[in-house]
């Protein structure tokens, strides 16, 4: 039986390069998992913005209703004539006035695209495959050499 080491070496390089391309390539596992996380976070942000838009559209439709105006005025601290106003003190003696914060209009920071791993090129993956093949062939060579030494010592 003849051993074709060159064909074995080339096929091993191809196998290691394909594995490196699947893990570290521009369309590999690591890049796709990062893209999946980015898409999920942006989908959540999109859903939040859609809900906020629906709420604002509803408020726009009801902005001139009398009940809505009275509710907004009460939230801001206004009262009608004849209503009693009560103030409460907190532990430090300050009057507690609850005025709601203004709605946030700024965009939230988008998690994702900065610092994303773009993947290695095919040449780098080929180099990784060559390095893996070289390491495996050196290990096999050392194991064979050690096996020969053990066999000669037993004789």
* Low-confidence winner among 28-37, 49-58, 103-112 (lowest mean pLDDT): 103-112
- CA dist 151 to 46, 61, 74, 143, 144, Å? 69, 91, 95, 12, 10
Q: Which pLDDT score, from 0 to 100, does residue 50 have? A: 97
Digit-coded pLDDT (tens) for 7-24: 777 888 888 888 888 888
Closest by CA position to 16, among listed 116, 124, 119, 113:
124
**111 band by pLDDT with thresholds 50, 70 and 90:** very low
- Asked if the model's pLDDT at residue 102 lies above 60, the reply is no
If you average pLDDT over every residue of the chain, what do you get? 79
Q: Where are the alpha helices (DSSP H) in 25-87?
A: 29-61, 66-76
**pTM of the model as a whole:** 0.50
Closest by CA position to 121, among listed 28, 16, 43:
28
User: Terminal CA-to-CA distance of the chain, rounded, Å?
Assistant: 26
Q: What is the helix (H) or strand (E) element at residue 9, kind and residue range? A: helix 5-24
**1 band by pLDDT with thresholds 50, 70 and 90:** very low
**Of all residues in the chain, what percent carry a pLDDT higher than 90?**
14
Give the C-alpha separation, 53 to 114, whole Å: 27
Q: Which pLDDT score, from 0 to 100, does residue 56 have? A: 92
Q: What is the helix (H) or strand (E) element at residue 89, kind and residue range? A: strand 88-89
- Residue 13 Cα to chain centre, angstroms: 32
**109 band by pLDDT with thresholds 50, 70 and 90:** very low
């Amino acid at each position: 039986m003849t051993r074709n080491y060159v064909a074995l070496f080339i096929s091993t390089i191809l196998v290691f390069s394909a594995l490196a391309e699947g893990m570290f390539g521009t369309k590999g596992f690591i890049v796709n998992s990062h893209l999946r996380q980015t898409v999920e976070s942006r989908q959540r942000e999109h859903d939040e913005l859609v809900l906020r838009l629906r709420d604002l559209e509803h408020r726009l439709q009801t902005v001139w209703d009398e009940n809505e105006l009275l509710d907004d005025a009460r939230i801001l601290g206004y009262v009608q004539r004849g209503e009693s106003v009560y103030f409460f003190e907190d532990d430090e003696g300050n009057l507690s006035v609850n005025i709601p914060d203004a709605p946030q209009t700024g965009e939230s920071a988008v998690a994702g695209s900065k610092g994303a791993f773009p993947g290695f090129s095919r040449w780098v993956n080929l180099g990784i495959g060559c390095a893996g093949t070289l390491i495996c062939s050196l290990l096999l060579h050392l194991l064979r050499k050690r096996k020969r030494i053990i066999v000669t010592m037993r004789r």
